[in-house]
Amino acid sequence: MSNAYHPPSALFCRQCGHALERRIPDDGDSKLRGVCPACATIHYDNPLCVVGTVPTWGATGEQVLLCQRNIEPRKGKWTLPAGFLELGETTAAGAARETDEEAGASIEMGELFTLMNVARVGQVHFYYRARLLSEHFNPGPESMQARLFTESEIPWDELAFSTVRQTLRRYFDDRRQGRFGFHTEDIV
């Protein structure tokens, strides 16, 4: 996850570079937007999608792969591999890419497991279950290390994001019950 916060609203027009006005557009909209007085382009601030995986290892998925972050925010904290969805990719493809980039892990992609709204920071988080095909990892520059944890070994107080904590809790709860569901949650 490279830049974890939403960018500030635009001050200048993306199309012509003119300084924007902050006002309600004349097209029936009801919200303040950056409107260009020169070329009329309207600038919307939209939530971002964050996509990642819960990569598991072992006959019953008893170990989960976490990455120790090598970048801010939360440098040194542990996270599931995840990052911003890029234009042109599906949420599953983005989750696979981030797993490769951050952990260098080979996976077989599974089902969507959690969908979490973090409205406070304008994000929607998607985590897919994934089966690791090897226990050899090759973490990229965004990670200090990548390693496997059993439930009791998880550094619960050293996790980078609440969506990671909640997704891991759900994973081990479902695993105990022998059945993996799909979970939605609003993080406040």
- Give residues in contact with its own copies (CB under 8 A): 2, 6-8, 10-19, 27-29, 31, 43-49, 84-93, 111-112, 115, 117, 119-120, 122, 124, 140-142, 182, 184, 186
CB 157 → its own copies: shortest distance, Å?
27
CB 133 → its own copies: shortest distance, Å?
22
Nearer Cβ to its own copies (140/165): 140
Sequence-distant (≥ 6) Cβ neighbours of residue 93 within 8 angstroms = none
CB 135 → its own copies: shortest distance, Å?
25
Nearer Cβ to its own copies (122/149): 122
CB 72 → its own copies: shortest distance, Å?
12
Nearer Cβ to its own copies (36/154): 36
Pairing of strands 33-35, 143-149: unpaired
C-alpha span between 99 and 113 (Å, rounded): 15
CB 178 → its own copies: shortest distance, Å?
20
C-alpha span between 176 and 188 (Å, rounded): 27
- Cα distances from 89 to residues 77, 93, 96, 97, 110, in angstroms, run 27, 6, 10, 10, 17
Nearer Cβ to its own copies (69/154): 69
Amino acid 183 reads: H
C-alpha span between 172 and 118 (Å, rounded): 22
Return the ∠ at Cα 169 (arms to 156 and 98), rounded to 5°: 80
Phi and psi for 96 in degrees, rounded to 5?
Answer: -65, -45
Nearer Cβ to its own copies (128/137): 128
Nearer Cβ to its own copies (86/135): 86
CB 25 → its own copies: shortest distance, Å?
10
| Terminal alpha carbon distance of the chain | 20
